Amino acid sequence: MTRETPSGVAVLLTAATRSMVLTSETERRLDALGNVRWADGSPDAWDLPELLDGVVACLTGWGTPRLGDDILTKCPDLALVAHSAGSIRNLLPQEAVGTRVTVCQAAALIADSVAEFVIAQILAWLRELHLLDAGLREGAGWSDLRHRHPGRLLGAQTVGVVGASRTGRAVIRLLKAFGSAVLVSDPLLDADEASTLGVTQADLDTLLARSDIVTLHVPLLPSTRNLLGARELGGLRDGALLVNSARGGLIDPAALQAELRTGRIRAALDVFPAEPLEVDSEWREMPHTIRSPHSAGHTLDSHRRQGAAMVSEIERFLRKEPLHYAVAAGQVDNLA
């Protein structure tokens, strides 16, 4: 008996993720593809081999169970994984990406959201909005508050961007619009690209020493874990602002806490060594810090763009058209 040509699509999204990344319009587009299986209920109860049997493409996102070697072996027809979130590091075996299965990810759509958040963090510190707000709540004098917190212009600052990743480049574009001088440390950035971006290349130590603001945009890899330790943090200028919206593991936590307690530097932290923070975590009360709960990449608009983009990738794949967000096998080691 001849086996039918596989053509199905599986939507492996939790109810929460589905409500974030899919609109009624994108759901209609999926249904229009025909032979679509929608995972339902708790992911713990999903029978992945059954959901993916005969399926050529699947849509995944936050909360999707790992598609391990056993799943890929049992589902040989699966040719495309369209991931509506960012990192694919824990989604499936990295050696399978671009070889056993084509993988697309929405990380590029998240970059704008993170970049805007980073600029918001920087501006909040430069204008000391949290201190102005607290002062008014406490009844401080109008003129006294303006005298104590006069603020600084972003365009007058030198900003060091560690990592010319997609997000790093999105941040650079916004910084250039403000007129900031931008230093970049990234061994993969060549001189021509730096010139196109309008930035100055620098090694990490030089960047830390010359920057008023430092923002991190590198993936967490064995080579970048604790990239900033006590020595590197000690090389920051007095009064420098350190922004981390990438991964908490990029900075030695004990060294950062020690610096922050002295008040010599300030920090805007969206990520932490362990997440979510425990109720009694020291990070919740860390002085000279603005903190947020890993929120940089999350906006209603970016979520919907991510879902729509990955549905478009599935449509292109089924029409045998070039994909826009496919991850090449050689890129995997450098991805977050």
Residue 275 is a catalytic residue: yes
Please report how the helices 300-318 and 107-127 are oriented relative to each other, as an axis angle in degrees rounded to 10: 160
Distance CA 17, CA 307 (A): 10
The C-alpha torsion from 275 through 69 and 111 to 211, rounded to 10°, is: 60
Task: Give a three-class secondary structure readout of 72-136.
Answer: HHHCCCCCEEEECCCCCCCCCCHHHECCCEEEEECHHHHHHHHHHHHHHHHHHHHHCHHHHHHHH
Q: Are 176 and 154 in contact (CB under 8 A)?
A: no
Please classify residue 257 by burial: count the beta carbons closer than 10 Å to its beta carbon, then call 0-12 exposed, 13-18 middle and 19+ buried.
Answer: middle
Q: For residue 214, what are the CA distances in angstroms to 116, 124, 204?
A: 15, 15, 10
Q: Are 307 and 26 in contact (CB under 8 A)?
A: yes
Residue 128 is a catalytic residue: no
Amino acid at 209: A
Catalytic member of 25, 50, 95, 275 = 275
Pairing of strands 55-60, 181-185: unpaired
Q: Is 77 left (phi over 0), alpha (psi -120 to 50) or beta?
A: alpha
Q: In what order do the strands lie in the sheet with 213-216?
A: 200-201, 181-185, 158-162, 213-216, 241-244, 266-269, 289-291
Q: Which helix (H) or strand (E) holds 314?
A: helix 300-318
Distance CA 157, CA 97 (A): 41
Distance CA 88, CA 85 (A): 8
Residue 261 is a catalytic residue: no
Catalytic member of 152, 294, 298, 304 = 294
Distance CA 37, CA 55 (A): 9
Catalytic member of 18, 83, 247, 305 = 247
Task: Write out the catalytic residue numbers.
Answer: 247, 275, 294
